[in-house]
Structure formats: C-alpha cells, structure tokens
Amino acid sequence: MKYLATLLLLCSISIGFAQKTDGPYLSVSTKDAVIPLKSSFTEVEISGTIAHVKLTQVYQNKGNLPLEATYVFPLSTQAAVHNMQMKIGDRIIKAKIFEKQEAKKVYETAVKEGKRAAKLDQNRPNVFQMNVGNIMADDEITITIFYTELLVPTHGSYQFVAPAVVGPRFIGESAQKEEAFNMPYMPKGSADSFKYDLKVSLNAGMIIQNINSPSHQINVKYPNPKTANIFLSKSNVNPGNRDFILDYNLRGNKIQSGLLLYEHEGENFFALQMEPTKNINYKDIPAREYLFIVDVSGSMNGYPLEVSKELMRNLLCDLRATDTFNVQLFASSSTIFSPNAVESNEQNIEAAIRFLSEGQGGGGTELLSALKEAYKLPRKDPNSARSMVVVTDGYVNIEKEAFQLINSNLDQANVFTFGIGSSVNRYLIEGMAKVSQSESFIATSPAEAVEVAKAFKNYIETPLLTQVKLKTKGFEIYDMAPSSIPDVFAARPVLVYGKYHGKPEGTILITGYQGKKKFKQEFKVSASNLSDKNKALPYLWARKKIEELDDYNVLFYNDVKDEVIALGLKYNLLSKYTSFVAVDETIVNKDGVIKSVKQPLPMPENVNNAAVGAEAEFFKKAAYKKSYTTTITEKLVSTDKRKIKMEFNAQYATLVTKHLQHYKSLRIKFNAEGQITSLETLENGQWVYAQDLLIEFHRIPTKAFSVNSAITLTLNR
C-alpha cells in the first residue's frame, strides 16, 4: 500500500503507533499485551436459498484500565444486517437503529457517562466497524450481529461466503483518510490473535451433493440426504485470516427456483428466482479486443501475483484467432505490453506471458490512474468491441470513484473483473462489473484460476438474456427491486424482489431475448410458497433497494440519502447512513477515564507484509523495533520522492531492515536504469564501501524507478 513496508513502518519519522501511548498494549507492545477481541463465532442456517447468519463477538479486558475497543471486520456485500444485541453477564440489551450521526451522539454520550455501550457502523457494503466502550477490567462483553442473504447459484452450484478479514487498503488516490482503513495488522503468518470458529446448518429441501470448501478444512455430517452440518476442522491453521467459502450442489445440479411470499403488518413481499436459461452457444461470435489490466502492487506480491499469472496464461490461451489483445501492468504507474493491440497468435501470446512473468509485486495500487490510462489506449480496429479485464485484489478505498469512471466510459469498453486472493475486496470486484453490466470472478488459488478462466470463456461464448421484462396479470405488484431487470448471464437466475397488494393469485410473465431467440416463462402465483419461514423477505427487499439507490449508484443526491435513512429506520436495517447502538444503563466508569485501542487484524493469507504502509500501522506483538528514515539527496518534487521511496521499499525493505540491525546508516546510489552502483555503511563517522552487501543487494532483480534519473538514498536506523 502507500509507503510500502515489510515488518516495520517505513518512510515514517515517528516510532509510535497511531494510538501513541494511550492504549494499554497497542503502543509499545509487551508480552502482557491485552487483545480486546477474545473470539468470533459465526453460525449459519441455510434454509432453501436463504442464509440466516448469527455472528458473535466476545470482547474482553485483561488489563487494569477501562477500554474502548475498535474492530473493523467484513461481511457479505449482500448482507442485510437487521439486528444486534449486547450481553453483559445475564443481561441482554437489544440495540436500536438510529440515523448515523444521531447514533454517534447516543454512543458517545453513554460512554462519557460511564455506561457500557456498543455501536455498529457500515463503512462500505462489505466493511463494518464495531466500537465497544467502557470494557472494564476483567469484563467480557458479548456482541451478537444478525444478518440474512439470498444465495444465488451459478452453473447450478451454490456458494456461501463468510468474509473473515478486511485486507489493507491503499488510500493514495483518495482525498479523505478513513479510520476503518487505518488499522494495525499482525505480521504475515502470525497466529490469530483471537479464536475464530464457524459452523453451518444446511437444509436445502433437496438432495445435497458435492459439499466442499476451497478455503478451509471441514468436517461434514449428514442427518439425512437433504440436510448437512458443516464444521471447521481443528487442523486449520489460522482459520481467521481468510474468507470462509462453502460450495455445494443439489442433485442433478438443480436449483431452488420459484416465487417466495411473506405477509406481515400490512405489507406483502415477494422474491422471484427464475431458473437460468439453457445455454445456447453463439455460432458466430464477433471479434473483440481485450485489454488485460493486471495489478502488480505490493499487496499482490508473491502468491497472489503467481495466481494472477496462472489466470492470465489461461485467459490468453483461450483467445480466438480473430481476437486482438494487449496487457497493462499497474501499481504506482503502468507498463504496457504493446503500443497497440496485437493479434492472438502463438508468438504474441508467448511474448505476453514472458512480459507477465517479469512483473514483480511492488508499489501502491493506483487503480484510477491505470483505468484512465487504459481508456486512452488506441484501438487496433476502431469498429471492434473492446473488453477491459481487470485482475486485482481490490485493496483500495476509491470504489465509488472507480464506478463513476467506468460509468462515464460505458461507450468505450465493458469491464470484467477477476478478484485474486483469500480475502478480496468484493465490493470493488463485484461493483465494477455491475456498473458495466458484465461479470465478476474470484480466484483464490492456481486451480481456481484455471476454472474461472473456463467460466469467462463460457460467458463470452454464451448470449446473455437481454431486454428482460416482467409483466403480471391478476397480481398487483409495486416497489420492485431492481426497478428494471438488467441483462442476465445465462448461468445465473433472474432475481427480483418486490411488494404486492391483495391476494396472491394471477400470473407473472418473464420475457426477453437470448441471442436472436425470443424467451418466455410464466409463473402461477397460486403455486408459490407463502410462509412465515420467508420472514427475511422484508430485509432482503429493503437491502436490494438500498443497493440500487446507493451501493453502486455513481450519482449522489441528498434525497437518495434521505430515502436510504428512511428504509434503514423502517426496516431496522444497517446502512451507510443508519447505525445500531446498544447501551447498558448501569454506570460502571464514574471517573470517565478510558483508553482507546484498535483490534489488530490478521494479515490476509498469502498477502505479504509489504501490503501495509504508513497509513495502516504495523502491530508487532512481542516487541517493537524503531522504523528507519529514508532521505533522498537529489532535489526532486515531493510526489517523485514519495514514488521512489515506495518503489525502493517494495524491492529492498527486507534487506535494509536486516542490515540496519548492524549498521547505523546505509547509503545506496542508483543509476538512471535503477541499478545499484555503490553501497556504503556508516562506521565510526566514516562512509565505508561495502562490497559484500552490494553483492547481496545485486541478487534482487533490477527494476527502474518511475523517476528516470540517478539518485542517492540514505537510510538511517
């Protein structure tokens, strides 16, 4: 991320954490450090296609001073969070929903008055922040969050994802600094700082087969052929440092389709899920130009980049002879494979694969700059359609800006996205594709990279269901969400929520086109499932309305905010503008003294320490070592200096950290091509040429700096 680091904060003068010395354990850490989050336990009940999730977080204080804990964690982008409660001893306090600023006042007033309180905010549709105030010495406070989501199958397969960790975000392209992305991280491979567990109860209503988890080792028990209980195996190492992914099929790859109904307090809700249309391959697929935009920033260094390269090898080899392509690698800046798109012949594909293989992870994730540069690239054929394929972990905080940029260039290219890694930013990955009305894919391993490349090939060879219309006869519907049905990938069902007046009778007719062929399907409302078991429908409908209004909407108006607030308050739903607050009225901290601490987050699996930079402090559990400062001798503008420091740290930080344990200062000279020409150590006030160190540094592949000039760096311990 910005000001890339490995184990220590780099490019920073201060040796303290952002919390300085206020926290009892997060400033200068000791063996007696107190971790506020004791455990996180996720219980999932899947009934048919609806998942009901109960997330229980236990906070503790083993220190002597009252704490206020901050914990940033992810949930599904589709999660409709509808309830929260706080338990202290035997007392259970049900949280209330407030407008966000009002919630802040209620929470802060309660904490100031010495009362235990908890507040849950949504920062992004997939990023949430919990604050728990006045955790007294030896306290245990249990917070339980309830949410629901609808599982939508693809190619007849169902997938449930329980995100586990918010990956470190690069904020260099954002004008604002966000607390949620200024959190401490544990070093790569560190043991989880809290206990993480999960279990799933699956009642599919049909015979279940092929249950597996690509992310975790699981144990599965089958009470009967239509139900299953899934538990995490004890053999998992650090299970909380990656998203939990559960895949399963129903017998014969059937899916749960049809109409669900729920009636409650004068409002009637429906959810229609129409089975995907049959695959009809195009006989004559038009030639396309593909621009592959591949993230090679610091957070992609190592394993994620290797997965990306495996994905790209498969994507390139699947191109048709009539297609053309180009490749753009980006981090702090971009590198283009060819000035113009090239033909998809064997020679060009082999050259592109070699180009990819030379890509090294390092630098910030400047996605907006990369997209802007991509839109400027000339087309080989002005009349051909262009598709941009973005490959990234999505560790940025400029999601809305990216959506706006894509929306403004819909006439230039459609955008497909591939999320790479164990805990990708699904809001960005899914959102970029949604805005472009295309498709997103996730690959967590080389094996999955092969599979998603096949899925992409299938996608472009199969016509979408387009011009989709919904009509009713004898069934009065309103407040449909989405308000209009977008084009649908042939492997996905049509999904619509809404409300209805009167009795559940009449018919629903879905029409559209698949390629040049007309499509029509009719549903009899009287054959639908009207049940109290569908009580999640109001939450799911309201969540879909909020998604349509705000999540991916690039144009923002105050009336949209007001409408989202109204939906949140009416349906008891967490949103960007509504928050939950629970207050225990017992006064336990009369003098009001409190220490604020941040829960350190696990580094996502396979993400290197270089992903964490100056905006997100690095938490070292056992001991804290001073960071080093970097000085550039040449007179350069501040932005160029910043780029050089980031690029240098991405390449050499581990070696610098190692040798500054023995020397007070290092001085390294580079030529304009990025080659080290001299390396000296400061000994007894004299600079001494260090041949052995120079040889060691030369073992790292040379990579020219974005600023094309000779430079001298002085590194001081």
Strand partners, 52: 45, 148
143-157, 580-594, 620-634: least confident range: 620-634
Burial of 542 (0-12, 13-18, 19+ CB in 10 A): buried
User: Given pLDDT bands bounded at 50, 70 and 90, which one contains residue 557?
Assistant: low
Position 617 pLDDT exceeds 90: no
Q: Where are the beta strands (DSSP E) in 185-256?
A: 195-203, 208-212, 218-224, 227-232, 244-250
Number of folded domains that form the chain: 4
For residue 182, tell me if it sits in a domain. no
Average pLDDT over the chain, rounded to an integer: 86
Residue 210 domain-assigned (yes or no): yes
- Which pLDDT tens digit goes with each residue over 463-493? 678 888 999 999 999 999 988 888 887 778 8
Same structural domain, 330 and 441: yes
Choose the weakest-confidence range: 60-74, 101-115, 137-151, 685-699.
Answer: 685-699
What's the average model confidence in pLDDT over 635-641? 76
Domain for residue 648, yes or no? yes
Residue with tokens 């000339």: 378
- Cβ neighbours of residue 523 closer than 8 Å, sequence gap 6 or more: 258, 259, 272, 274, 507, 508, 509, 510
Same domain (yes/no): 413, 449: yes
The answer to whether residues 522 and 541 belong to one domain is yes
H helix intervals, 273-325? 303-317
Question: Does residue 233 sit in the same domain as residue 339?
Answer: no
**Which range is most confident: 537-546, 621-630, 646-655, 670-679?**
537-546
pLDDT over 50 (residue 12): no
615 belongs to a structural domain: no
Going by pLDDT thresholds of 50, 70 and 90, the confidence category of residue 27 is: very low
CA dist 254 and 510 (Å) reads 20
Mean pLDDT of 536-545: 96
- What are the two backbone dihedrals, phi and then psi, of residue 142, each rounded to the nearest 5 degrees? -105, 125
User: Average pLDDT, stretch 230-237?
Assistant: 96
Residues 262 and 217 in one domain: no
DSSP per residue over 416-479, as a string? EEEEESSS--HHHHHHHHHHTT--EEEESSHHHHHHHHHHHHHHHHS--EEEEEEEEES-EEEE
Q: Mean pLDDT throughout 29-33?
A: 49
Q: Is the pLDDT of residue 165 over 60?
A: yes
Give the domain CATH number at 491: 2.60.40
pLDDT of residue 576: 96
pLDDT bin (cut points 50, 70, 90) of residue 5 is: very low
Q: Is the dihedral of CA 586, 592, 593, 594 positive or negative?
A: positive
Q: What is the mean pLDDT of residues 48-71?
A: 95
Distance CA 230, CA 222 (A): 9
Q: Are 452 and 502 in contact (CB under 8 A)?
A: no
> pLDDT tens for residues 109-145?
999 999 999 999 999 999 999 999 999 999 999 999 9
Q: Is residue 622 part of a domain?
A: no
**pLDDT digit string, tens, across residues 437-459:** 899 999 998 889 989 998 898 88
**Residue 521 counted as domain residue:** yes
121 lies in the same domain as 48: yes
| Between 359 and 39, residue with greater pLDDT | 39
Tokens of 213: 């988890």
Contact 312, 391 (CB under 8 A): yes
pLDDT band with cut points at 50, 70 and 90 for residue 14: very low
| 611: DSSP letter | G
Least Cα distance to 483 among 492, 470, 473 occurs for 470
CATH code where residue 387 lies: 3.40.50.410
- Structure tokens that stand for 253 in this block: 């790859």
- In this predicted structure, which of 291-295, 418-422, 453-457, 564-568 has the lowest mean pLDDT? 453-457
- Choose the most confident range, by mean pLDDT, from 141-155, 345-359, 378-392: 141-155
Residue type, 235: S
State the Cα–Cα distance between residues 453 and 418, nearest whole angstrom.
9
Could you list the residue range(s) of the whole structural domain that residue 636 is in?
628-716
Give yes or no: residues 321 and 447 share one domain. yes
Three-state DSSP at 440 gives: strand
Same domain, 333 and 405: yes
pLDDT value for 574: 98
| Residue 555: per-residue pLDDT | 57
Out of 105-119, 128-142, 351-365, 492-506, least confident range: 351-365
Sign of CA dihedral 449, 455, 459, 464: negative
| Integer Cα distance of 609 and 361 in angstroms | 12
C-alpha distances out from residue 675 to 157, 301, 629, 705, 709, Å = 51, 21, 21, 10, 11
> Is 15 among the domain residues?
no
Higher pLDDT, residue 581 or 620: 581
Last residue of a domain, which of 533, 558, 587?
587
pLDDT at residue 155, as a whole number:
81
Given this model, what pLDDT does residue 201 score?
98
Residues 448 and 479 both lie in one domain: no
Q: Which whole number is the average pLDDT over 218-242?
A: 96
Average pLDDT of span 692-711? 81
Plot region of 649 (φ>0 → left; ψ -120 to 50 → alpha; else → beta): alpha
Q: Cα 24 from chain centroid?
A: 30
Q: Helices 426-435 & 399-407, crossing angle to 10 degrees?
A: 10
Q: Name the residue with higher pLDDT: 559 or 392.
A: 392
Q: Are residues 485 and 561 in the same domain?
A: yes
The answer to whether residues 272 and 343 belong to one domain is: no
Question: Is residue 422, in this structure, part of any structural domain at all?
Answer: yes
What is the pLDDT averaged over residues 403-415? 91
Residue 311: which of 395, 231, 416 has the closest Cα? 416
* Alpha-helical runs (H) found in 273-366: 303-317, 346-357
What is the average pLDDT across 78-101? 97
Tokens at 236, concatenated: 């998992």
Amino acid residing at 474 = G
- pLDDT, mean of residues 425-439: 94
Spatial separation of the C-alpha atoms in residues 486 and 404, rounded to whole Å: 18
Specify whether 234 is located in the same domain as 312.
Answer: no
d(CA 348, CA 334): 20
What's the confidence (pLDDT) of residue 277?
65
Q: Please provide residue 238's backbone torsions phi and psi, each rounded to the nearest 5 degrees.
A: 50, 60
**Residue 422 near residue 302 (C-beta atoms within 8 A):** no
What pLDDT shows up at residue 325? 95
Last residue of a domain, one of 430, 461, 492: 461
Phi and psi dihedrals of 522, rounded to 5? -120, 145
Q: What angle do CA 492, 495, 500 make, to 5 degrees?
A: 165
Beta bridge pairs of residue 58:
39, 142
The runs of H, that is alpha helices, within 182-332 are 303-317
Closest CA to 580 of 60, 114, 131: 131
Q: What is the pLDDT of residue 285?
A: 66
Q: Quick one: pLDDT at residue 712? A: 93
For residue 437, give the DSSP letter. T
298-347: pLDDT as tens digits: 889 888 988 998 899 889 988 888 899 999 999 988 999 999 999 998 88
Q: pLDDT at residue 194 above 90?
A: yes
Q: Percent of the chain scored above 70 by pLDDT? A: 89
The DSSP bridge pattern shows strands 440-443 and 414-420 to be parallel
Whether the pLDDT of residue 162 is over 80: the answer is yes
Contacts 24+ apart (CB under 8 A), 522-526: 523/258, 523/259, 523/272, 523/274, 525/259, 525/474, 525/475
Examine the fold and report which residue of 560, 587, 614 is the final residue of a domain before the chain moves on: 587
Residues 6 or more apart from 431 whose CB is under 8 A from it?
Answer: 399, 402, 403, 551, 552
Q: Which residues pair with 679 in a beta bridge?
A: 668
